[in-house]
Amino acid sequence: MQQPDKATPVTILGAGIVGICTALSLLERGVPVILIDRGEPGQATSYGNAGVVSPWSLVPQAVPGIWRNIPKLMLGHGRPLSVHPKYALKILPWGARFLQQSSEERVRATSDAMANLCGPSIDLFTKHLTGTGHEGLLVDTMYLQLYRDGSKLTLDALDCRIRAEKGADMEVLGQDELSRLEPAVSADFKAGLLVKGTARVRAPGRLAAILAEKAARLGATFVKANIKRLQKSETGWTVQCEDGDHEAERIIMCLGVWSADLLPDIKHKVPLMSERGYHAEFSNPGIELNHSVMDADAKFIASSMEGGVRVAGHAEFAPPDAPPSKRRQKIFLRLAKAAFPDLQTGNVSLWTGCRPSFPDSLPMIDQLDEQPGLFLNFGHSHYGLMMSPASGELTAQLVCGDRPNVSLDGYSASRFDQNGA
């Protein structure tokens, strides 16, 4: 097979953390890149991330028995799950596919695919940051999941068993141990699961900006433009933008929730949903968190960052352009104060962003035989920060005609085609 011409630039649609990491992996192989996005590099969904970088975040959202928990997620403590009225019908087929992924057999297969992306995340981010002068943005830490009812926490649960089988070092902590490890957490939490060997990004938006600067120093070109359409041309592809067209022989789609609408006619099903998340960042919090902390009941993660304490999470299935829910923001503030009683909430910034979510929690990483020169790398769900370096590596291997050292079947564009899966 003829090797692709590495001297020909590759155009990446999207300059979020996924697109930036893909660019770095291509630049390291001597392939010039052009990134097109309407915003500043890494300042959209990438900006609002909770900051956790964990090789052990390898269990998908759909797990056995999840259907029994949906009413509680929508109506229980913190109401971490909601559906916008405009998505009420659209969520039904997506939800059916989601539930089909929840058998133990499917969960284990998905976890294997997630491990390929999350497992090398710390090492790859360390490599990307090397030489930037900002290596301290990534810090070693642990990941602590908190429970109000200690009886709900057991290492015999499927998610813990899968992590243990893959080498995770975990420990169950009682209330006294929790208070010593994280004095700021509420006494309402009776037990915790401590996951070791993780890291935290202290400013996800700044990380993306710094890696974009590194890519630019290596020769990447960033184009700020509002992409309207992607169309096949005689010589490759035409990226139609509001201010003019851009021609390219090879395209990588990395536009998150906007990717599916911009794809040309393809023969595969692309069940991508906009799953919005929220964060509140308290600039003068009055507390310090030593590790990344998750409220397992209310489904949010808190971390101390450069800008203060950030509380991020929840899942709101809603159109990307829908206005932020004021009710959801109020809930977030209340939950943060309940979890951390001494948190000072006077100086707070609120943010909303859109996760691109497939039913199986995996992105599409593929090249389309019926659309030569078109590559896919989008749909990273809740795991975009963690998965971005490895998904960028795999995509660069595809573009360069190299054989990836892991199976790409789990990320295939055809995986939802059969039997409505």
pLDDT in tens, the chain (421 residues): 455 677 889 999 999 999 999 999 999 999 999 999 999 998 888 888 899 999 999 999 999 999 999 999 999 888 999 999 999 999 999 999 999 999 999 999 999 999 999 999 999 999 999 999 999 999 999 999 999 998 889 999 999 999 999 999 999 999 999 999 999 999 999 999 999 999 999 999 999 999 999 999 999 999 999 999 999 998 899 999 999 999 999 999 999 999 999 998 888 999 999 999 999 999 999 999 999 999 999 999 999 999 999 999 999 999 999 999 988 888 989 999 999 999 999 999 999 999 999 999 999 999 998 899 999 999 999 999 999 999 999 999 999 999 898 999 999 999 999 754 5
> Element (H or E) spanning 387, and its range?
helix 384-399
In the Cβ-directed half-sphere of 289, how many Cα atoms lie within 13 Å? Answer: 32
Cα–Cα nearest to 13, from 232, 266, 274, 223: 223
**223/19 Cα distance (integer angstroms):** 13
Q: Domain-by-domain residue ranges, the chain? A: 59-104+137-199+272-357
**CB atoms < 10 A from the CB of 164, how many?**
14
Task: Encode burial over 165-204: b for 16+ CB neighbours within 10 A, e otherwise.
Answer: eeebebeebeeeebeebbebbbeebbbbbbbebbbbbbbb
What is the separation of C-alpha 286 from the centre of its chain, rounded to a whole number of angstroms? 29
412, 364 contact by CB (below 8 A):
yes
Q: Dihedral sign for Cα 125, 127, 132, 138, please.
A: positive
CATH code, 59-104+137-199+272-357 = 3.30.9.10
348, 282 contact by CB (below 8 A):
yes
